[in-house]
Amino acid sequence: MPRRRTLGPKKKLALLLSAATVAGGGAFVMANTSNAAPPPVTKSAAGSTVCQGLATALGNNQRFIEGQRAAPDAQSEARIANREAVIAQIRLQQEASGCAVGESAQGSPTAQPEQPAAPSQPGGEDAAASGEQVCAGSTVTLSGEDGAPAASSNRFPAGTRLKVTNLDNGKSTTVEVTSVSGSCVLLNNAAFAQVREAGKFLIRRAVIEKVG
């Protein structure tokens, strides 16, 4: 009869350690796979008011640059450089808000039924007299520009005074148009802060009045 080979204690121990190492490595791989962080979810303008406002602001600034390039004047180069800096800041805001970076949308051109102006807030510029309602149905967003409260417009010349009322919170601000933009009215950061709702970059229900 052939002799049956048996493993010595040292060989048995070596085989057990090898098997444990393989099993442990597999468990480690499985644990790493199960604990891997899911990819970040990017919100689109269609599903987020914040993202829609930023996309609209980006689109309006891009449209302004296109207009300046199509019909340049002596100041176009400086205006374009300024708006390119604004666009870079908007892209950073999109990234920080979890929005699709670079997503662009133009302000809604579709006219909506005119809304009655909300009562002005007592005191200060918000108590400015009502004037001719303009740009019915327009949404309002921010240009991304710094400085004292002001507005830009593709319809009204510099020096025009516009009153913007946010019907969703009743807040109003009256500002002077100081530059050209790609929509009826864009508020700069300071002016938009006076009428915005927290965390939003778009006013859907706005009344815009020409008061001077």
- Going residue by residue through the chain (212 aa), what tens digit of pLDDT does each one get? 555 555 565 555 555 555 545 445 544 444 454 555 555 566 666 677 788 888 888 888 888 888 889 988 888 888 888 788 888 888 888 888 888 898 888 654 433 333 343 444 433 343 345 679 999 888 898 888 889 999 999 899 999 999 999 999 999 999 999 988 878 899 999 999 999 998 888 898 999 999 98
* pTM of the predicted protein model: 0.56
170 plus 134 within the same structural domain: yes
First CA to last CA across the chain, in angstroms? 116
Tokens encoding 111: 């006219």
Distances (CA, A) of 66 to 60, 62, 71, 138: 10, 6, 9, 21
Q: Strand 161-166 and strand 206-210: pairing?
A: antiparallel
Instruction: Kindly report the length of the chain.
Output: 212
In a domain, residue 105? The reply is no
- Position of tokens 């007299």? 129
In a domain, residue 13? The reply is no
In a domain, residue 203? The reply is yes
Q: Which helix (H) or strand (E) holds 47?
A: none
60 plus 138 within the same structural domain: no
Question: What is the pLDDT, as a whole number, of residue 161?
Answer: 96
| Under 8 Å between Cβ of 137 and 157 | no
Q: How far apart, in whole angstroms, are the C-alpha atoms of residue 10 and residue 188? A: 79
91 plus 142 within the same structural domain: no
Question: What is the pLDDT, as a whole number, of residue 201?
Answer: 86
In a domain, residue 67? The reply is yes
Question: What is the pLDDT, as a whole number, of residue 109?
Answer: 42
Question: What is the pLDDT, as a whole number, of residue 2?
Answer: 56
81 plus 129 within the same structural domain: no
140 plus 179 within the same structural domain: yes
139 plus 202 within the same structural domain: yes
Q: What residues are paired with 142 via a beta bridge? A: 187
76 plus 146 within the same structural domain: no
Question: What is the pLDDT, as a whole number, of residue 173?
Answer: 96
90 plus 137 within the same structural domain: no
Question: What is the pLDDT, as a whole number, of residue 10?
Answer: 56
Q: What range does the domain containing 59 cover?
A: 45-96
Question: What is the pLDDT, as a whole number, of residue 105?
Answer: 81
